[in-house]
Amino acid sequence: MSEDDGLSIEDLDTPAPSSTRHARPGANIARRETGILAAAVTAVPLLVASGITLVPELQGVWETAIGIAVLMVIVTLVAVQIVRSARTLLVGEYADTQLVAYTDNRETGILLKGEIENVSLRVSTVHSIVDALTDEIPPESRKTALYECGRAVGKSWASEFRRELPRLEIREKDVLYQLLKWSEYDATAGMGRLTVAVNPQTGEGVVTLANGFLSRASSTFPLNWWFAGYLAGTLDELLQRKTSVTVINPSINKTEMAFFQVIPESHQSPPATQEPRPIDPRTVARGKVWLKRLKTPLPDEVG
pLDDT tens digits for range 78-95:
666 666 655 555 555 454
Give residue 190's identity as a one-letter amino acid code: G
For the chain, the DSSP string reads: --GGGT--GGGGSPPPPGGGTTS-HHHHHHHHHHHHHHHHHHHHHHHHHHHHHHGGG--SHHHHHHHHHHHHHHHHHHHHHHHHHHHHHHH-HHHHHGGG-EEEETTTTEEEETTEEE----HHHHHHHHHHHHHTS-GGGHHHHHHHHHHHHHHHHHHHHHHTTTTTT--TT-HHHHHHHHHHHHHHTTS-EEEEEE-TTT--EEEEEES-TTSSS--SS-THHHHHHHHHHHHHHHHTS-EEEEEES--SS--SEEEEEEEESS-PPPPPPPPPPPPPHHHHHHHHHHHHHHHSPPGGG--
Give residue 2's identity as a one-letter amino acid code: S
The C-alpha atoms of residue 234 and residue 237 are separated, in whole angstroms, by 5
Q: Is the overall model pTM greater than 0.95, yes or no?
A: no
Say what the pLDDT of residue 120 is: 83
Closest CA to 151 of 231, 44, 244: 231
The C-alpha atoms of residue 39 and residue 56 are separated, in whole angstroms, by 27
Q: Across the beta sheet with 193-198, what order do the strands follow?
A: 193-198, 205-210, 257-264, 243-248
- The CA–CA distances, whole Å, from 41 to 37, 48, 92, 219, 258 equal 6, 12, 20, 55, 44
Which residues of the chain, if any, have pLDDT below 50? 1-11, 13-25, 93, 95-96, 98-99, 270-276
Say what the pLDDT of residue 170 is: 84
Say what the pLDDT of residue 14 is: 40
Say what the pLDDT of residue 161 is: 86
| 10-45 residue pLDDT tens | 445 444 333 333 344 455 555 665 666 566 656 666
Domains of the chain: 1-120 (no CATH), 122-264 (3.30.1380.20)
Residues 6+ apart with CB under 8 A from 293: none
The C-alpha atoms of residue 274 and residue 137 are separated, in whole angstroms, by 50
Beta bridge partners of 244: 263
Give residue 10's identity as a one-letter amino acid code: E
Closest CA to 180 of 95, 276, 115, 81: 95
Say what the pLDDT of residue 7 is: 45
